[in-house]
Structure 1
């Protein structure tokens, strides 16, 4: 629903004051166009806010910023032998995002030597579709380029996309060794081949070619890191395992550790003052589904700066509430992991918080006695992008539906 002015009142909001301090407040929040106009005591004068949202009994929280999510791949290729167009897939993804409270999303575009779903044609299609739907999407869609280090032939494309300003977040991925090992299993090889949209023999040829060019990988990594620094693109290393891996990336200016796999890598990242991204699904599952570090343990020890949806969008909303319910941190602290911290890392200072002049990205949440959450509404750039309880809306003037 596209409205020029909106007044949210009756709720308990997590707001940030002029000094950058975050506190709970019962003041009303008025928006104007895409921004927060004021945070003040509720007024009976609704002339400037023809649409009023009654947030009574709800928490009003900053819209979430997902720094790493690749669940959109399932809209593109829901089954091995199926593939749907990017316009349909991204439109559906947009609806999923706002229906889960995510107002800014970095799509994990994996660019790999494998081809297929993670090949050149698919990558270009995603880049173009994200740009094409920018004016009509409810969430703010951005690109997180997950570059496979052994994709030598992809270097020129990646450099071009970085210099064109199409990449918001960059990650160095090193999946080839694990893929090579798992490809010895027929069922795994079949799955990889299906994703790459080729037969197993073709896939093995691609794998072998990538392995034979391993000596060029250090140059590729250094070249991409330099390009990102020049353009101001934040960088992460993916699934660090050792001290030397994290330190090597640190020397290249890669200051984010994304899903570190071992305690050694996690401690190294913290010792270097890096930002650490962990998975929100990991929290809901009570640990990693693939034997990696538990996010709960990282949060408990103060070694987690951000939570990402990874492969499951709903986890972003529910993980902070579980962390708070377990007593590992306060809800305000947990919410920083899904809003303020990732926004700051991405250089998006206008969001991730509720404050005067900020972008009007907010969600309204009902919390049960058991500490579980239900999303009631999502406001994205001042627009009501999702509402599960229309009776809470009081409209005194006609409105236009969002495109």
Structure 2
């Protein structure tokens, strides 16, 4: 494949250039154009590296499109994958929450097992457009989380784990009233019910959280699986993670511990990613639950934080790839896998027009 008249964005610069791909790998990149008849003219559209997403809960929306509705798992995976690829994401870490804290928790062990089986099955059948890996989000205050982790830790696509504690009064939900307001989006809680839930969750946190965190981090170190901390709020959280050998601070909730670029602030009142970007504290962006926001957020860094396009694009390509040891992708450069996306700007909105994985168009 030969592409000309593309606005190429590399790790360090952008320019109008020509790109040649052979056998799924970028073999040549030059400034200027070519007169070769077989070259595909991109009309000045951006040629950006394929996006690398380390954390998305988007699959959950398709598994449970409405409260109480459970969708076919394979069908949910396929449409999740299509949505991800259409957003320009060529490598995605499907975030699977493990650890149940209530009988009605949708993240049951049975569902978790079915999800990891579906991921392996669909990937082996080459039915997925993006390349999918597994990110186990470990709810350390849940009584069963270590057992579930042990049952999944040999999955061939496991590449990342995170340790998190969503107990009211901890980290993201340090303000219990804020947690209550979030829970009440589906209906009001009585004071008695609220107090009972808080007591049960706090008891589990005291009994399990510290021990489970140590056990899961130790297992990941033995397996060579990178670990992320989650919702760090104070300097002690950062120091603990560093001492444990944790390599990523995922969704820090305050500036001192270092999110939302597109919306301008976190839905739960935490620090804005734009503020972190302006302070030079932001390395990697995540779409979390809206895949299309990843590319938009990168260009928001250009418009709102004054970053260059190459620097902004690195937060959604080169930096996340490097953080998890994927050295064969994440940038437009000879020798790397030909994962890239064609993007046209509509005013300030980047619109993905085509997505390529290993040189093959998937969307």
* Shorter-chain TM band: 0.7 to 0.9
In structure 1, what is the Cα distance between the partners aligned to 2:305 and 2:275?
A: 12
Per the alignment, residue 245 of structure 1 pairs with 237
Q: TM-score by structure 1 length?
A: 0.79
Per the alignment, residue 296 of structure 1 pairs with 274
1:126 and 2:115 matched? yes
Per the alignment, residue 354 of structure 1 pairs with 332
Q: Is the 8 A contact 1:165 1:231 kept in 2?
A: no
Structure 1: state its 5+ residue gaps. Answer: 1-5, 17-21, 193-200, 267-278, 387-403
1:167 and 2:144 matched? no
Q: Is the 8 A contact 1:151 1:210 kept in 2?
A: no
Alpha-carbon offset, residue 187 of structure 1: 8.8
Alpha-carbon offset, residue 43 of structure 1: 4.7
Closer/same/farther in 2, CA of residues 15 and 186 from structure 1, 3 Å limit: closer
In structure 2, what is the Cα distance between the partners aligned to 1:302 and 1:188?
A: 33
1:66 and 2:53 matched? yes
Closer/same/farther in 2, CA of residues 186 and 259 from structure 1, 3 Å limit: closer
1:320 and 2:315 matched? no
1:13 and 2:2 matched? no
Alignment deviations for residues 49-72 of structure 1 (CA, whole Å, 9 cap, x no partner): 6xx532112010000001111021
1:114 and 2:91 matched? no
Aligned-residue Cα RMSD (Å) equals 2.8
In structure 2, what is the Cα distance between the partners aligned to 1:295 and 1:187?
A: 21
In structure 2, what is the Cα distance between the partners aligned to 1:340 and 1:186?
A: 37
Alpha-carbon offset, residue 105 of structure 1: 0.7
In structure 2, which of residues 23, 26, 32 is the aligned counterpart of residue 36 of structure 1?
26
Alpha-carbon offset, residue 206 of structure 1: 11
Per the alignment, residue 144 of structure 1 pairs with 135
In structure 2, which of residues 351, 356, 362 is the aligned counterpart of residue 374 of structure 1?
351
In structure 1, which of residues 58, 64, 76 is the aligned counterpart of residue 63 of structure 2?
76
Structure 2: state its 5+ residue gaps. Answer: 188-192
Closer/same/farther in 2, CA of residues 346 and 187 from structure 1, 3 Å limit: closer
SS for the counterpart of 1:147 is strand
SS for the counterpart of 2:116 is helix
In structure 2, which of residues 86, 98, 102 is the aligned counterpart of residue 99 of structure 1?
86
Alignment deviations for residues 149-206 of structure 1 (CA, whole Å, 9 cap, x no partner): 11232212213422444421111110022589469959937959xxxxxxxx9xx789
Q: Is the 8 A contact 2:168 2:198 kept in 1?
A: no
Q: Is the 8 A contact 2:93 2:132 kept in 1?
A: yes
Per the alignment, residue 177 of structure 1 pairs with 168
In structure 2, what is the Cα distance between the partners aligned to 1:123 and 1:224?
A: 17
Alignment deviations for residues 274-300 of structure 1 (CA, whole Å, 9 cap, x no partner): xxxxx5xx1111111211001101001
Closer/same/farther in 2, CA of residues 348 and 109 from structure 1, 3 Å limit: same
List structure 1 runs of 4+ shifted beyond 3 angstroms: 40-46, 163-166, 178-187, 189-192, 204-207
In structure 1, what is the Cα distance between the partners aligned to 2:81 and 2:290?
A: 14
Per the alignment, residue 256 of structure 2 pairs with 264
Task: Map 1:211-290; keep pairs closer than 5 Å.
Answer: 211-212=203-204, 214-266=206-258, 279=259, 282-290=260-268
Q: TM-score by structure 2 length?
A: 0.87
